[in-house]
């Protein structure tokens, strides 16, 4: 297919090269990418870190232009660090996983993949320093069998080092988050408190207006009532006292109006 | 009144500049021919011409020092921004609480960064003869200045 595309860029000499070359480049690129219609693309991690004695998951996923068939097969190969040969350690075919039972990974591999979810991952238990090396995931999905495999390198450490930036990001994010949260909380509480203050003030001023209308006739009572109102304004912060006196005051005004 | 405002702003900007310089410049620890800071170790060759710089270690304590220095710069910048906001929106007689709190937080962050660095720096550089560089001293100087600036904001009342 690549050969078929080669004559395409041939153009007459003296043609306006600069005008059409970006479009041509896009066309060429897209055809190179899209033309392998019968190929499979496999994705794995680049590197995986594991601690001695623990387990590690080697992920493998793929993209195929065909539907996942029942004949799909996964193969994992292992090439030791510094070695040249790759040995096959895992094979999955026709719905049946075949695990290494005689080699270095005897009884340590577990199949956790699911072809329906395009996942061909395996788990290696009980890591050892001799497991350092490169693992290759190979997926074949008939009739889609041509494609690139993908490799993941396993590093086994005594203690897995944390990646750079994890602590940095965590400290910055944590402190900023806490500060923002506290500020929000503070503003929320203050807003609610101010709103309640405003509502109380409004009710008190409305009541005072009503009281003044009434007590303009009865001057003798004014002395007794206005101290009550001022006392209420003073105690407006304690809600129980304020609400009790308010209800009493309202009840009185209603009775007086009658 | 205007003089006071100007003085406060100058103090705040001075604290900000100290924090920036202390975070970025490569002079927390100096020895003969090498200097390290939060981000890289630099060493000059014996002839004095060539400088090799490599990244500092991936130690968790160094990362926490980096994080708190960055946080202090962030808090100081936020505090300056909030100061200008509050200058125009605060009621008369009000106090610059938020500005002061952020500035005090910046000071505390610088202090914790410098303290952690002082205690844990043998973990990521192994030279026996060393002395503290000027960026390290600037960090310690920025701490009381930031606290002072924050306290002034908390005490200050808005007039006019």
Distance CA B100, CA B150 (A): 4
Nearest CA of chain B to the CA of A58: how many Å?
Answer: 25
Q: Is A254 within the bounds of a domain?
A: no
* A256 has a pLDDT exceeding 70: no
Judged on CB neighbours under 10 Å (0-12, 13-18, 19+), A214 is middle
CB-nearest partner of B68 from A162, A166, A171: A171
Structure confidence by residue, pLDDT tens digits, A117-145: 888 889 999 888 888 999 999 988 888 88
- Do the chains contact at B63 and A168, CB–CB below 8 Å? yes
Distance from CA of B58 to the nearest CA of A (A): 6
Which residue of A161, A174, A175, A183 is the best one to mutate when testing the B interface, meaning the one whose CB has the most B CBs within 10 A? A175
* pLDDT tens, residue order, chain B (160 aa): 789 889 999 999 999 999 999 998 877 888 777 777 788 877 776 666 667 777 777 788 888 999 999 999 999 999 999 999 988 888 888 888 899 999 999 999 999 999 999 998 887 777 777 788 888 999 999 999 999 999 999 988 877 6
Strand order in the sheet with A109-111: A56-58, A122-124, A109-111
Report pLDDT for B120: 87
A47 in the same domain as A129:
yes
Range of the domain at B119: 1-28+57-159
Please report whether residue B10 resides in a domain. Answer: yes
Q: How far apart are CA B143 and CA B18, in angstroms?
A: 10
pTM here is 0.60
Per the structure, the count of domains in chain B is 1
- pLDDT over 70 at A18, yes or no: no
Total domains in the fold of chain A: 2
- Residue A55 in any domain: the answer is yes
Domain assignment present for B61: yes
Question: Contact at 8 Å (CB) between A124 and A140?
Answer: no
Domain-located, residue A78: yes
Helices B134-155 and B2-24 cross at an angle (nearest 10°) of 150
Residue B106 in domain: yes
Q: Which residue has the higher pLDDT, A138 or A17?
A: A138
* Record: contact B63-A175, CB cut-off 8 A: no
Query: In the predicted model, is pLDDT for residue A244 greater than 80?
Result: no
Q: Are residues A127 and A55 in the same domain?
A: yes
For residue range A44-79, list pLDDT tens digits in order.
Answer: 899 888 889 888 999 999 888 888 888 888 999 999
Over residues A180-231, the pLDDT tens digits come to 999 999 999 999 999 999 999 999 998 888 877 776 655 555 555 555 555 5
Q: How many CB atoms lie within 10 A of CB B21?
A: 15
Most B CBs within 10 Å, among A49, A163, A166, A168, to test the B interface: A168
Host domain of residue A170? 162-210
The per-residue DSSP string of B41-92 comes to EEEE-TTSS-EEEEEPP--HHHHHHHHHHHHHHHHHHHHHHHHHHHHHHSPT
Report DSSP state, residue A82: T
Instruction: Find the CATH number of the domain harbouring B152.
Output: 1.20.140.150
Of the candidates A254, A233, A230, the residue with the CA atom closest to the CA atom of residue A242: A233
CA distance A36 to A42: 14
Interface of chain B toward chain A, CB-CB under 8 angstroms: 58, 60, 63-64, 66-68, 70-71, 74, 98, 105, 109
Percent of chain A with pLDDT over 90: 21
For residue B68, the chain A residue with the least C-alpha distance is A172
Integer Cα distance of B35 and B107 in angstroms? 25
Q: What is the pLDDT of residue A8?
A: 44
């Amino acid at each position: 297919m690549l050969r078929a595309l080669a004559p395409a860029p041939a153009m007459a000499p003296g043609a306006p090269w600069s005008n059409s070359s970006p479009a041509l480049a896009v066309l060429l690129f897209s055809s190179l990418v899209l033309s392998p219609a019968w190929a499979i693309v496999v994705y794995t991690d680049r590197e995986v870190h594991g601690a001695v004695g623990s387990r590690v998951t080697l992920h493998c996923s793929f993209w195929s232009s065909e539907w996942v068939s029942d004949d799909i097969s996964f193969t994992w190969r292992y090439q030791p660090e510094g070695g040249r040969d790759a040995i096959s350690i895992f094979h999955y075919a026709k719905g049946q996983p075949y695990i290494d039972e005689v080699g270095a990974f005897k009884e340590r591999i577990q199949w956790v993949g699911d072809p329906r979810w395009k996942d061909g991952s395996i788990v290696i238990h009980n890591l050892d320093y001799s497991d350092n090396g490169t693992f290759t995931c190979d997926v074949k999905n008939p009739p889609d069998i041509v494609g690139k495999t993908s490799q993941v390198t396993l590093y086994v450490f005594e203690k897995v080092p944390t990646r750079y930036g994890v602590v940095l990001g965590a400290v910055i994010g944590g402190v900023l988050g806490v500060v923002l949260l506290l500020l929000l909380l503070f503003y929320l509480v203050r807003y609610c408190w101010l709103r309640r203050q405003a509502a109380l003030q409004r009710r008190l001023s409305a009541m005072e207006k009503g009281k003044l209308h009434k007590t303009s006739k009865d001057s003798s009572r004014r002395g007794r009532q206005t101290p009550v109102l001022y006392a209420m304004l003073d105690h407006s912060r304690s809600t129980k006292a304020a609400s009790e006196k308010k209800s009493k005051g309202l009840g009185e005004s209603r009775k007086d109006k009658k | 009144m205007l003089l006071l405002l100007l003085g406060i702003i100058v103090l705040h900007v001075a604290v900000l500049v100290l924090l920036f310089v202390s975070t970025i410049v490569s002079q927390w620890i100096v020895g003969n021919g090498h200097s390290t800071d939060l981000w890289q170790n630099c060493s000059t060759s014996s002839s004095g011409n060539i400088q090799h710089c490599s990244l500092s270690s991936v130690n968790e304590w160094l990362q926490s020092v980096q994080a708190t220095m960055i946080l202090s710069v962030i808090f100081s910048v936020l505090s300056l921004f909030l100061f200008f906001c509050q200058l125009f929106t605060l009621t008369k007689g009000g106090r610059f609480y938020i500005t002061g709190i952020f500035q005090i937080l910046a000071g505390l962050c610088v202090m914790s960064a410098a303290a952690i660095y002082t205690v844990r720096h043998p973990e990521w550089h192994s030279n026996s003869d060393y002395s503290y560089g000027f960026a390290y001293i600037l960090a310690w100087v920025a701490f009381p200045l930031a606290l002072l600036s924050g306290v002034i904001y908390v005490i200050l009342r808005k007039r006019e």
